[in-house]
Amino acid sequence: MTDETGVTRRRLIVEAPEPGERLDAYIARHLAQLSRSRVAKLLEAGRVWLNGRVPRKSDHPAPGDTIEIELPAPEPTGIEPEEIPLNIVYEDADLLIVDKPAGLVVHPAPGHRTGTLVNALLHHVTDLSGVGGRLRPGIVHRLDKDTSGLLLVAKNDDAHLALSAALKRREITRVYLVAAWGHLASDTQTVDAPIGRSPTDRKRMAVVEGGRRAVTHLERVERWVAADLLRARLETGRTHQIRVHLAWIGHPVVGDPVYGGAAERGISGPGRAWARAFAARVPRQFLHAAELRFRHPRTGRELHVTSPLPPDLAAAAEWARQTSTSAARGS
C-alpha cells in the first residue's frame, strides 16, 4: 500500500525460510524487485521491522514471524526526460506496455546515459514507479538493446511490486519469435539448463554448472531451408536466456553477434548458399518479444497483448518463407 506521501509499505508473514537464511536474503527472495543490497540499505535506515522491532540483517526469521518493510518515496532520478517517440500499445493508471524498437537501450548505463527508453518514459509519463531504482524507474523486466518487442512498465509502486511478484511466480507469460539456424529435432523442445556468467568471458552468459535454473520452451512455427522460425516461451527470465539456450543446443539465433557469430558459414550442403543469403537480409539478431499475457495487478483482469514482427524482421522472414516454399516444390 502506498500513502499520500509516496511511501509504500509491505507486510510479509514468514512461511518457510531456507535453513540458516538471513533476514536480508529472505526479504530479497520474496520481494523480487528489491536486490539484497537495497534491502540492506533499508535495514540500515531503520525501515524494516521484525515482529515490531528493528532487526539486524543477520537475524534469522522463523515461521510465523511478521516482517514489515517501508519503501520511501522515489528520489529524483537525475535522468533527463527526452522527447523520444514511443509506441505505447496499452496504458492505464497502473501500467503501460511499450513496443520497443531494436536499437533502443532500456535504461541508462555506462556508455548509454541518454537516449534510453527510461529517458523517453520520463518525458511521456510523470508518475512512474521508483521501486526499480534510480536508473530503472518503472521497469519490470528488460529487453536487450537489439531485441524488439513488448516491454511492461509500472506507473506506481503498488503495481510494480505486484507485477514483480507475479513475474517471480511465473504468472506473466512472455513469448518471443526467433529465427534459429538449423532445425530442431522435433517440433517442440524444452531446454532446462542453468545459466550463469561465462567462466572465460565475464561479459557473456553461458550454461554453467551451479548457474541459476533456466527453462525455455520452444515450438517450431515454420521450417525454412536452413533455419527454423520458433516461438520461445520463457519459464524463467535469465539474462540472454533464449540466445544462450539456443546456442547451447546448436541452433544459435540468426544475426546474434555474441552467441551465434557467423554461424551460417558452418552450414554445408544445399542450404549453404541460402543461409548466407538469409544472413545478409537479417540486419540484427532475429529476436522479437511478441506476446505478453498476465493479470492486471489491480483488477485481476487478464491482459493479452501481441506484437507482429517489425518490418526489418518481417521482410527477412517473408524472403525465407518464399524461397523455402520454392525449394520444397523443386525437390
Tell me the catalytic residues.
144
- The x, y and z cell numbers of residue 20, run together, are 540458516
In sequence order, what E strands does the chain have?
8-13, 48-50, 66-71, 88-91, 95-100, 148-154, 173-181, 188-192, 195-197, 205-207, 215-223, 227-234, 287-295, 302-306
C-alpha cell at 300: 485481476
The three cell numbers of residue 329 are: 516444390
- The CA distance from 314 to 225, in Å, is 17
Grid coordinates belonging to 70: 517501508
Do 163 and 173 touch, CB atoms closer than 8 A? no
How many C-beta atoms lie closer than 10 Å to residue 157's C-beta? 25
CB 262 within 8 A of CB 254: no
C-alpha cell at 117: 527508453
72 contacts: CB under 8 Å, gap ≥ 6: 6, 7, 47
Indicate the pairing of strand 287-295 with strand 173-181: antiparallel
Q: Do the beta carbons of residue 254 and residue 180 sit within 8 Å? A: yes
